[in-house]
Amino acid sequence: MELFIATGSVHKLAELGPALPGNVLRIPADAGIEGFEVEEDGSTFLENALKKARALFKLVGKPSLADDSGLVVRALGGAPGVLSARYGSTERGTRLEAAERNAFLLANMSAREDRSCAFVCCLVLVFSEERVFSVQETCTGLLLREPMGSGGFGYDPVVFLPELGRSVAQLTIEEKNRLSHRGRACARMTALIGELEARP
pLDDT digits (tens, 9 = 90+) for 77-96: 999 999 999 999 866 678 89
Nearby residues of 18 by Cβ (< 8 Å), 6 or more positions away: 173, 177
Region for residue 98 given its phi and psi (left: phi exceeds 0; alpha: psi -120 to 50; beta: otherwise): alpha
Report the predicted TM-score, pTM, of the whole model to 2 decimal places. 0.91
The yes-or-no answer on residue 114 being catalytic is no
pLDDT in the model for residue 92: 64
Q: What is the pLDDT of residues 37-91, one digit of tens each?
A: 999 999 999 999 999 999 999 999 999 999 999 999 999 999 999 999 999 986 6
2-198 has CATH 3.90.950.10 classification: yes
Distance CA 8, CA 85 (A): 13
User: Is pLDDT of 13 > 90?
Assistant: no
Percent of residues, the chain, with pLDDT higher than 70 = 96
According to the model, what pLDDT value does residue 34 have?
Answer: 86
Which of the residues 30, 41, 68, 114 is marked catalytic? 68
pLDDT of residue 173: 83
Confidence of residue 165 (pLDDT cuts 50, 70, 90): very high
- Write down the pLDDT at residue 10: 66
53: three-class secondary structure by DSSP: helix
| DSSP symbol at 80 | B
Contact 76, 46 (CB under 8 A): no
Q: Report, as an integer, the average pLDDT of 126-145.
A: 97
For the chain, the average pLDDT equals: 92
Q: Hey, where are the domains in the chain?
A: 2-198
Percent of the chain with pLDDT over 90: 75
Residue 6: is its pLDDT beyond 70?
Answer: yes
